[in-house]
Amino acid sequence: MNLLDKLFSREIERRTGAHAISIYIEENREKRKRSRSIGASAIEASRETKITTRKSDTSFIRRIDLRFPWLKLAVVAVLGIIVILDLLNLTISSTGERRALAKIAPMSKHIKATERVIEGKKLVALTFDDGPSPLTTPKLLDVLKQKHVPATFFVLGNRALDNPDVVKRALDEGHEIASHTMRHQNLIRISAEAAKNDINEAKSAIKSIIGKTPAYTRPPYGNFDSNIIKSAGTPIILWSVDTEDWRSKNVDSIISTALDEVHDGAIILMHDIYPTSVEAVPKLIDAIREKGYEFASFSEISKIRGTKIKEGIIYYNFRP
Ligand code: NI
């Protein structure tokens, strides 16, 4: 009983007697009980709220994690399967590529006459001057490999030294490597000695890459004199079909020029340093084959025609 109660009870006692006092006290006791219990439930409620608040504070993933404990494992498993499939796919594709290369390599390693029927056919020789180029020559080699066409590359000594791998690749893939001199000088406009030096420099540069002296020479612009023939010390191979690819730089023009002039035993002149020339080659090969010709190397033509290609002689074509 607090002070207020005492005061009240005395007052009431004075007025209504003992009974009323006891009722009042009882009522107050009840009230206090109720308020205490309300307070307790309020605290209880607030605790619950706190718990609920804490629960709603937890992240979405945490809640998912709590509700579906197996889900994390399932996600990891699915991701794992995806990674494994991806790896398998990569493995399959690289194996496929290797298989494809393996199929091509043995045939193109040395282009054999048996893959192109050259007996009894009109023959043409494809020649490329002024390279090698690290950009265009490899693309050309891809095309020649795909089409099973041998060619002769009249390389410049200085460009060969800059791109020895391209020269080696051409040799490995069955093409002939010949000399177009060291630095593309007009040999008849320089001294006989300077011309001889240039020719010899090219010979040793090319030999340092392919392991043998180039078997043929093509002087720049097709210009030569007796000194140059002597200095070359090899057959001089010029051309009979000039595609003028360096001038037109046009695929259709290159092809139509070649088709107009092609003949049995033709030596076709092109340049592997121009993208348009390389672009024209696959179409040119198909068009020439369609006219009943087949491509052959110098040595194949000389063998099949029974003619020896001799040192000191100028060849414009290999007509039968
Ligand atoms: Ni040239």
Residue 159 sits in a domain whose CATH number is 3.20.20.370
Domain assignment present for 320? no
pLDDT value, residue 267: 97
Measured in Å, residue 319 CA sits from the centre of ligand 1 at 23
For residue 22, is it within any domain? yes
In a domain, 146, yes or no: yes
Choice between 31 and 227, residue whose per-residue pLDDT is larger: 227
Identify the pLDDT of residue 155. Answer: 98
184 catalytic per annotation: no
Q: Residue 170 C-alpha to ligand 1 middle, in angstroms? A: 18
Q: Do residue 36 and residue 117 come from a single domain?
A: no
Confidence of residue 10 (pLDDT cuts 50, 70, 90): low
User: CA–CA distance from 127 to each of 96, 133, 208 (Å)?
Assistant: 33, 15, 22
**Is 13:21 a contact under the CB 8 Å cutoff?**
yes
Confidence band, pLDDT 50/70/90 cuts, at residue 52: very low
What is the Å distance from ligand 1's center to 153 Cα? 11
Given a cut of 70, is residue 43 above it in pLDDT? no
In a domain? residue 107:
no
Do both 126 and 262 map to the same domain? Answer: yes
| 63 and 85 co-located in one domain | no
List of residues 6+ apart from 24 with CB closer than 8 A = 5, 8, 9, 12
Is the same domain home to 53 and 145? Answer: no
Tell the residue number behind the tokens 């499939």, with chain if given.
85
Nearby residues of 174 by Cβ (< 8 Å), 6 or more positions away = 108, 109, 110, 111, 150, 297
Q: Which of 175, 180, 184, 271 is catalytic?
A: 271
Same domain? For 58 and 95 the reply is no
CA of 148 to the centre of ligand 1 (A): 25
Q: What is the mean pLDDT of residues 30-51?
A: 55
Q: Is the pLDDT of residue 39 over 70?
A: no
Per DSSP, the three-state class of 233 is coil
**Ligand 1 midpoint to CA 237 (Å):** 12
* Distance in angstroms (rounded) separating the CA atoms of residues 79 and 84: 9
Average pLDDT for residues 200-204, to the nearest whole number?
98
Range of the domain at 26: 3-67
Q: Within this chain, do residues 213 and 253 fall inside the same structural domain, yes or no? A: yes
Selected catalytic residue, list 129, 130, 245, 272 = 129
Q: Are residues 146 and 28 in the same domain?
A: no
Identify the DSSP state of 318: -
Whether 87 and 186 share a structural domain: no
pLDDT digits (tens, 9 = 90+) for 182-192: 999 999 999 99
* Number of domains observed in the structure of the chain: 3
- For residue 108, being part of any structural domain is answered with no
Q: What is the pTM of this model?
A: 0.66
138 and 275 fall within a common domain: yes
At residue 227, does pLDDT exceed 90?
A: yes
The whole-number pLDDT of residue 74 equals 79
What is the average pLDDT across 124-147? 98
Give the distance (Å) from ligand 1 centre to CA of residue 129: 5
- Residues 248, 197: one domain? yes
Q: Please report whether residue 106 resides in a domain.
A: no
pLDDT, tens digit, for every residue of 140-169? 999 999 999 999 999 999 999 999 999 999
Residues 302 and 213 in one domain: yes
Q: How far is the CA of 198 from the centre of ligand 1 (A)?
A: 14
